[in-house]
């Protein structure tokens, strides 16, 4: 009897861990702006598609995430936008530096030719 209880408890813990892994996967994929398809979620969570279809509570979370991806997607887009702005500022600074260098070299060339 004790072994049965221990086995049942272990199975419950494992099931809960798998369910938590799937929910975390949904959160991560939504945050990254990736498609929330059953196949994609199953692949990233290392579970079967059948597992997802058999758990109505998980399916409802997936549907909610599909209907409200704006907040996660907005965060991703804001990070990308900030990254692009930094890269643009770096490129603009480089352009200014090269422009000053071009002017300097043209002046040097003129000075040497006169």
Domain boundaries, the chain: 1-68, 70-114
**CB of 41 within 8 A of CB of 62?**
yes
**CA-to-CA dists, residue 8 to 13, 69, 86, 106, angstroms:** 9, 37, 54, 82
Is 53's pLDDT higher than 70? yes
Is 77's pLDDT higher than 80? no
pLDDT band at 71 (very low <50, low <70, confident <90, very high): low
What pLDDT, in 10s, does the model give residues 89-101? 999 999 999 999 9
Is 49's pLDDT higher than 90? yes
Is 69's pLDDT higher than 60? no
**CA-to-CA dists, residue 69 to 1, 44, 53, 77, 98, angstroms:** 47, 18, 21, 12, 43
Q: Does the global pTM surpass 0.75?
A: no
Mean pLDDT, residues 40-49: 96
């Amino acid at each position: 009897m004790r072994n049965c209880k221990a086995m049942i408890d272990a199975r419950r813990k494992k099931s809960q861990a798998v369910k938590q892994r799937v929910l975390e996967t949904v959160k991560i994929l939504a945050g990254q702006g990736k498609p929330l398809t059953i196949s994609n979620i199953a692949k990233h969570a290392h579970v079967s598609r059948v597992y997802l279809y058999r758990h109505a509570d998980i399916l409802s979370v997936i549907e909610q995430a599909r209907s409200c991806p704006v907040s996660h997607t907005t965060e991703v887009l804001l990070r990308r936008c900030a990254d692009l702005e930094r890269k643009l500022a770096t490129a603009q600074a480089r352009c200014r530096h090269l422009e000053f260098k071009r002017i300097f070299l043209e002046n040097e060339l003129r000075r040497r030719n006169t």
